[in-house]
Amino acid sequence: MTTRTVDVIVVGASLSAAAAAKRLVDAGLETIVLERKELPRHKICSGILSPRGHRFLLENFGPLPREALHEPTSCRGVTFHFPSMVSLEMDFFGGSTPHLHRKYSDYWAIKRSGAEVHDRTSFVGLEDLGDHVLVHARRQGEPVEYRARQVIGADGPSSLVIRSIYPEYPQSIPWFFVGQKFHDIIDCPLSPDYFHFWFHPGLGHYTWSHARDGRQIVGVGFKRGDNFASKHANVVNYLAEKHGVRLQPHTEDEGCGENFGPSLVNRYVFGKGNVLITGQAAGFLNMIGEGMSCALHSGAICGEAVVEARARNRPVQDMYRRMIASEVRRTTDQWNPLKIAFERPHEADFPAALMALPWRDRGKVLRDMWRFIVLYKEFNWGRQIFRAAMQRPFIGGYSMQRWL
């Protein structure tokens, strides 16, 4: 077995990995990206990128190739639906955003980053030896070893890199299952231009639907342990009954585990020693459940931190945590009730849409939202969110002490 020595190993070949790799390669650092699957690989995702993420892609990787987009190619905004049958249609700030075909968009981005990519290579474990890290992996079953100054874990919510440095971490946070099924459409009054989201405690913790490639996606997220089939059937029935959505039985389905909590309660995990965690693995997720834009930005910051730490001869963890503070503010602000009430932390104008409603409907929306939030009561996030919101104006951000 040979050991390949490089500057940085990035685990995962998603958008955050591409962003990190881009910064590293630009600065002349030899970077290898490890990907478990063969590229291009399938990825479960709504693909609706926020405008900020779109801007990042354009500014860093150039124009998107057509193959990186689904049909419809773009999304105008989000529509919120409430049990009281009030709907709020909100356009994104800055116009439409792409509907990414993650299989090809991720592949395109990682190629554009300029990094060397080793696919079909699964991360097995690592040893941080102070001045370098040994990474063990398997390439098509054969053990391979890499030696790098830093390792970046950009391998998503169920990160193996996190597990190798904090084995107890996955047990310490609540897990959700998010699944989506694809249906041929008989009749669908939901606008294909928008991403639809239901604030309905009876449907699930995260319930959505949107159009893709001539089919309708119906998705639902819930606490791990519940039954996907019955939850999903419940949503389909609800859509049929309340919105007149008529769909064929599903032709495909898929799902994965998700970590919703860290962004809400400022409990991110950024790594240890020479191992950095970024993207959704670190806990970044926007309020509409979109993780791509913060994955791109946190990935880029992770790469910048490695470059800066080397140039300034400073510990990389220290550098990363200082630099990531801006992205933490952006993401956690979206969940901060004070920010939501008095500023506009989101990329669509919820307060304006709300104020455009008749006052009776406003009342209904607020009542429905409260009922929906109560669904999350069991996680005891309320007090933590409150505390984070209160300290935000005083320390100009969110406490770094709560990060792992």
How many residues of this chain bind other proteins (CB under 8 A)? 52
Q: Residue from 290, 327, 333, 347 that binds other proteins (CB under 8 A)?
A: 327
Please, which residue, 58 or 366, has the CB nearer to other proteins?
Answer: 58
Kindly state the tokens that stand for 3: 């050991």
Q: Does 191 bind other proteins (CB under 8 A)?
A: no
Q: Of 38-46, 237-245, 299-307, 378-386, which part binds other proteins (CB under 8 A)?
A: 299-307
Q: Does 28 bind other proteins (CB under 8 A)?
A: yes
Which residue do the tokens 């991110």 mark? Answer: 268
Please, which residue, 290 or 368, has the CB nearer to other proteins?
Answer: 290
Q: Residue from 5, 42, 95, 127 that binds other proteins (CB under 8 A)?
A: 95
- Among 13, 8, 10, 7, smallest CA distance to 112 is for 13
Query: Three-state SS for 259?
Result: coil
Instruction: Please tell me what DSSP assigns to residue 348.
Output: B
Kindly state the tokens that stand for 147: 């030696």
Q: Residue from 181, 321, 339, 392 that binds other proteins (CB under 8 A)?
A: 321
At residue 11, φ and ψ (nearest 5 deg) are: -100, 125
Please, which residue, 103 or 330, has the CB nearer to other proteins?
Answer: 330
Q: Residue from 103, 250, 297, 346 that binds other proteins (CB under 8 A)?
A: 297
Closest approach, Cβ 55 to other proteins, in A, equals: 6
Q: Residue from 40, 98, 156, 289 that binds other proteins (CB under 8 A)?
A: 98
Instruction: For Cα atoms 180, 184, 187, give the angle at the middle one, nearest 5 degrees.
Output: 110
Residues 384-403 that bind other proteins (CB under 8 A): 400-401
Q: Does 55 bind other proteins (CB under 8 A)?
A: yes
Kindly state the tokens that stand for 108: 């395109």
Q: Does 366 bind other proteins (CB under 8 A)?
A: no
Bond into 249 cis (ω within 30): no
Instruction: Please tell me what DSSP assigns to residue 396.
Output: T
Q: In Å, how far are 223, 262, 379 from 383, measured between CA atoms?
A: 20, 14, 10
Q: Does 284 bind other proteins (CB under 8 A)?
A: no
Q: What is the dihedral of CA 104, 220, 82, 174, to 10 degrees?
A: -110
Q: Of 34-42, 54-62, 250-258, 360-368, which part binds other proteins (CB under 8 A)?
A: 54-62
- Among 242, 235, 201, 241, smallest CA distance to 216 is for 235
Instruction: Please tell me what DSSP assigns to residue 183.
Output: E
Query: Which residues contact other proteins by CB under 8 A?
Result: 7, 22-23, 25-29, 51, 54-55, 58-66, 69, 73-74, 94-98, 112, 114, 297, 300-301, 304, 307-308, 310-314, 317-319, 321-324, 326-327, 400-401
